[in-house]
Amino acid sequence: MVSLQFSMSCLITFTFLVTLTAAQKVVHHNCSDISGSFTRNSTYNANLNRLLSTFSSNISANDYGFYNISYGQGPDAANGIALCRGDVNSDVCLRCIKNATTELRNRCSNEKEAIIWYDYCMLRYTNRSIMGVMQLGPYFVMNNTNNVMVTDGDAFNQALSALLDILISNASSGNASGKFATGTLQKIKALVQCTPDLTAIQCGSCLYHCVFSRVRKSNVKLETNHEPNEPVEDHEISSAECIQYDFSIIRDATNDFSDANKLGQGGFGAVYKGKLSSGELIAVKRIATESGQGDVEFINEVQLMAQLQHRNLVRLLGFCLEGNERLLVYEFVPNASLDQFLFDPVKCANLDWEKRYKIIAGIARGLLYLHEDSRLRIIHRNLKASNVLLDAEMNPKISDFGMARLCPLDQTQSATSRIAGTYTGYMAPEYAMQGHFSAKSDVFSYGVLVLELLSGRENNAFDNGENVEDLLSYAWRNWKDGTAMDFVDDRLKDGSKDEQMRCIHIGLLCVQEDVAQRPNMASVVVMLTSHSITLPLPSPSAIFMNNNT
C-alpha cells in the first residue's frame, strides 16, 4: 500500500516497508493560469529566467533543503521556492532542483504560476507572495497500484492514524530549519513534511487537511428488497455495507416503537432502541418531518452517509422505507448522550478529567473527519452535548450528522424552525442571526462544548437573567483576569492543569466573534496534539461582545 499526498505546502506519504520504491522521475506538475500568463518580452519572463537559472546553478547547498528566491517587484515579481524531501542529501537535492527548473519551464511555457513535484524535490514559482502562506491546492493523490493484503482494515487505519499523529506533531514543531518527520509503526512507514516557512499551526493543519485514502474493502452488496424477484445488484460502495431493512423487522425490534423503547426525541424525529433477532442492538430514528425528497434520492444519501466511518461518529447501518415511513438504523451506543452525564449532579462524577479530555479530543477528530476527510464535507449544524453519544469505554461518538442531506427542508421551513425554538447556546452568532452556516459555525459549537466540559456547566446564555453571566463571558473574563482555573469544574482539580489551560484557550479561540479568526478543525486537532505549539491569543467571544454593546 503506497499512498502519497502532495499539496502546495505539505506532503504526506505512507507505505508498507516491503513495497517502498523510489524512482527519480517527475511525479506531477500543474501549470496554473490563476495569475495569468506572460509574453516572451515581458519583465516577468526576464525575472523568471533569472530565478530559474539561479535555482539551476547558483544556490549553495544548505542542510535543510529549502530555498527561496525572488526577483523583481509588484505584479512582475517572480517568487520561487524549492524544497527537497527531508531525507535526501544536498547533492541529490541540488541535482533534482536543477532538473526541475528545465522540466517545469518546458511543461508550463507561459503561465505565471507553476509547480512540479519529483520524488525528491518540488519547485514552484508565481508572481504572488509565497513565503509564510499556506496553500492547499493544487494537490494530488497517488494510489497504490499493487495489491497488498490487509487483514484488519480498522487496525491498519488506527496504526496509521497513531503514527501520523506523532509525525505531524514532530514535523509541525520543527523550527525554520526543517519541518520534516518520518517513522515506522507496525510495518507502516510514513513521512510528512512542510515547507519550513510555515508556522507550526499552519503546518499541522495543512497535514491534517489531507483526505486520506484508507484501506478499502472490496465491493460490498446492497440488498435492495424492493423488488423481491429482481436479482440482487452489486453496487460499488467503498468500505460500507448499507442495508435496507424490512419494516416488520424494525417494528418487531423496537416493540412496535413502544414508549419504553424510546431513547429520545430529536429535531428530525424520535429515536428508539431496538434489538434484532440476531441479538444486535440498534438505534432507530423515525423521521417525522416531511421532505420533498424522493425515495431514490433518499437511498442515495443514505448510501453516502453509510460510507462515513470513523470511530468518533455513530455509524449508520441502513434504512427502511415503507409508505410514508422513513427510518434510519444506527449502531446502538450504550452510554447515552454526553449531556446526561455532564449536567447531572450525580452522574458527572463519572467524568474525570482524563475522560473529558478524551471526549474533547475525540469530538475534534470526528468533526475534522466530517469537515475535511470524508469527501462529502459535511457541516454538522447541530453539534451539542445531546448529540454526542458515549460508548462503553466513554469514547465520544457524534450523532445526527448529515441530517440536512437526508431530510432537506425548504428554505422557509428551516428558517422557521431555526427561529421557532431550535436555537441553542451552541449556535454561532452568524448562524443564529443571518442563517450563515459553515464549518466555522461548527467550530463555534465545538468551542462551547469544550467550555462546557471544562466547567461542567451548560451554556444557556439567552435564558439567563441580567445577573447571570453566560458561560462564554464567564470563561473569557476568567481567562483575561488570569483566573482561568476558577472556571474549571471543582471536580477536575486532580487533572492536568496544563491540559485544562490549553483547552480553555482552544475553546475561547473557537468561539470568537470573527469567523475568520476561529481555527478550523485541523488546527484544533494540531493544538490538542502538539503541546509545544504556541497558540494565538483569542479575541473576545461573540456573546461577550454582544453583552457589552
Ligand X SMILES: *[C@@H]1O[C@H](CO)[C@@H](O)[C@H](O)[C@H]1NC(C)=O
Site residues, ligand X (CB under 6 A): 24, 30, 32, 35-36, 39, 41-42, 58, 66, 68, 74-75, 92, 95-96, 99, 112, 118, 120, 127-128, 137-138, 143, 166-167, 170, 175-177, 181, 183, 197, 334-335, 350, 392
- Minimum distance from residue 120 beta carbon to ligand X (Å): 6
Let me know how long the chain is.
549
- Minimum distance from residue 144 beta carbon to ligand X (Å): 9
What is the phi/psi pair of residue 198, to 5°? -75, 155
Residue 361 corresponds to which cell in the numbers above?
A: 479530543
Neighbours of 322 (CB within 10 A): 13
SS3 assignment, position 346: coil
CB half-sphere exposure, 284, CA atoms < 13 A: 30
Residue 94 corresponds to which cell in the numbers above?
A: 541540488
Residue (52 or 471) nearer to ligand X, CB: 52
347 in a labelled binding site: no
Query: How far apart (Å, rounded) are the C-alpha atoms in residues 338 and 360?
Result: 11
- Minimum distance from residue 296 beta carbon to ligand X (Å): 23
Residue (65 or 429) nearer to ligand X, CB: 65
Q: Which of 339, 337, 358 is nearest to 452 (CA)?
A: 339
Residue (100 or 407) nearer to ligand X, CB: 100
- Minimum distance from residue 512 beta carbon to ligand X (Å): 28
The dihedral built from the CA positions of residue 365, 368, 374 and 380, taken in this order, carries a sign that is positive
CB half-sphere exposure, 79, CA atoms < 13 A: 13
Query: How far apart (Å, rounded) are the C-alpha atoms in residues 257 and 255?
Result: 5
Query: How far apart (Å, rounded) are the C-alpha atoms in residues 478 and 490?
Result: 15
Query: How far apart (Å, rounded) are the C-alpha atoms in residues 192 and 469?
Result: 45
Q: Which of 146, 151, 278, 303 is nearest to 221 (CA)?
A: 303
- Give the residue closest to ligand X by C-beta: 36
The DSSP output letter for 393 is: T
- Minimum distance from residue 176 beta carbon to ligand X (Å): 6
Residue (114 or 317) nearer to ligand X, CB: 114
- Minimum distance from residue 174 beta carbon to ligand X (Å): 6
Residue (128 or 405) nearer to ligand X, CB: 128
- The set of residues, in sequence order, having a beta carbon less than 8 Å from that of 406 and lying 6+ positions away, is 268, 287, 298, 301, 302, 305, 328
- Minimum distance from residue 518 beta carbon to ligand X (Å): 24
Terminus-to-terminus CA distance in the chain, angstroms? 57
Query: How far apart (Å, rounded) are the C-alpha atoms in residues 308 and 314?
Result: 9
- Minimum distance from residue 73 beta carbon to ligand X (Å): 9
Summarize the annotated binding site as residue ranges.
Answer: 285
Detail the residues annotated as belonging to a binding site for ATP.
285
